[in-house]
Amino acid sequence: MFAVLLLAASAGYAQETKELTVFTAASLTGAFGEMGQMYKNETNISVAFNFDGSQALRTQMENGAYADVFASANQKQMNAVKNDGLMNNSSIVIFTKNKLSLIVPKGNLAKIINLSDLAKPGLKIVMGTKDVPVGDYALQILNKLGNDSAYGPDYKTKVLANVISQETNVNYVVTKVALGEADVGFAYVSDITKNLTSKVDKIDIPDEYNVIAQYPMGILLESKYPLQSREFMSLVMSDKGKAVLEKYGFAPVAGVAAKTAGTAMAAAAA
């Protein structure tokens, strides 16, 4: 049904639409890359992705960079773009969820077992900057731990003293850990992909300290192709799209697929 709707709605536009431009949080690189190819197979319309930290994407759009769709790793950056008057606010939906874990190089030479170990002197930690979502989420986790008497009031200070690098997107965090340039890093659960399992190991962060990352997506007001943008969003929220997201470690959001698809159909009929 989705393919039929998509092809029918796109038939009159495929010739004139060369490609969609989708600004996408770096943590979605694998999943959206795959869905971009799915969308092209369905519509014969290419998708040009700009994968980067959500805060960097926001800055680019604020400075005039063109995009049809923006998918952020947190609501803070989406809200900033909304407040600048750049988004079609009615198009924005939370389309998936994620959470953080610790990642260590294969072999774990620093012998990190749990969150308490992050405060050990001399440890080399890498995380995102406070402005990139993965860094903001990590700081929220450290705040929770610091407020727990089991870790103590100095815990956060000791952990931050071990931070050797703050990166502008999560892919840089993962790369440094995989190369052994750091003992441990804060990344998303979804970052531990099959091709990385030979290079890094994951250490779970208990749910009582973790943060659920909600990912919003929406269409820019300046989009030349709002119908096709809605079709792309509908693909992301379809059963096929959700299967791709779950394959990459993302968690589903109940009830949003029908809403998004319905919005796309209404726009097509208008």
Instruction: Give per-residue pLDDT as tens, 176-218.
Output: 999 999 999 999 999 988 788 889 999 999 999 999 999 999 9
Positive or negative: CA dihedral 264, 81, 249, 38: positive
Across 67-72, average pLDDT:
98
> Among all chains, which residue has been given the structure tokens 């998708």?
47
Dist. CA 248–CA 192, nearest whole Å: 8
Polymer length of the chain: 270
Structure tokens at 56: 């960097």
Across 71-90, average pLDDT:
97
Q: Spell out where 33-162 has E strands.
A: 46-52, 69-71, 93-105, 125-128
Closest CA to 38 of 215, 260, 205, 241: 241
Q: Spell out where the chain has E strands.
A: 19-25, 46-52, 69-71, 93-105, 125-128, 163-167, 184-188, 200-204, 212-219
Closest CA to 88 of 209, 214, 233: 233
Domains observed in the chain: 2-97+214-269 (3.40.190.10), 99-204 (3.40.190.10)
Structure tokens at 209: 């300290």
Q: With bands split at pLDDT 50, 70 and 90, how would you rate the model's confidence at 15?
A: low
Across 6-12, average pLDDT:
50
Helix, strand, coil distribution of the chain in percent, nearest 5: 45, 20, 30
Dist. CA 46–CA 85, nearest whole Å: 27
pTM assigned to the model: 0.85
Positive or negative: CA dihedral 127, 185, 103, 29: positive
Task: Report yes or no: 220 and 88 within 8 Å, Cβ to Cβ.
Answer: yes
Q: Is the pLDDT of residue 268 over 90?
A: no
Structure tokens at 137: 């989420």
Per-residue buried b or exposed e for 39-57, using 16+ beta carbons within 10 Å of the residue's own CB: beebbebebebbbbbbbbb
Mean pLDDT of the chain: 90
121-168 pLDDT per residue, tens: 999 999 999 999 999 999 999 999 999 999 988 999 999 999 999 999
Dist. CA 169–CA 158, nearest whole Å: 23
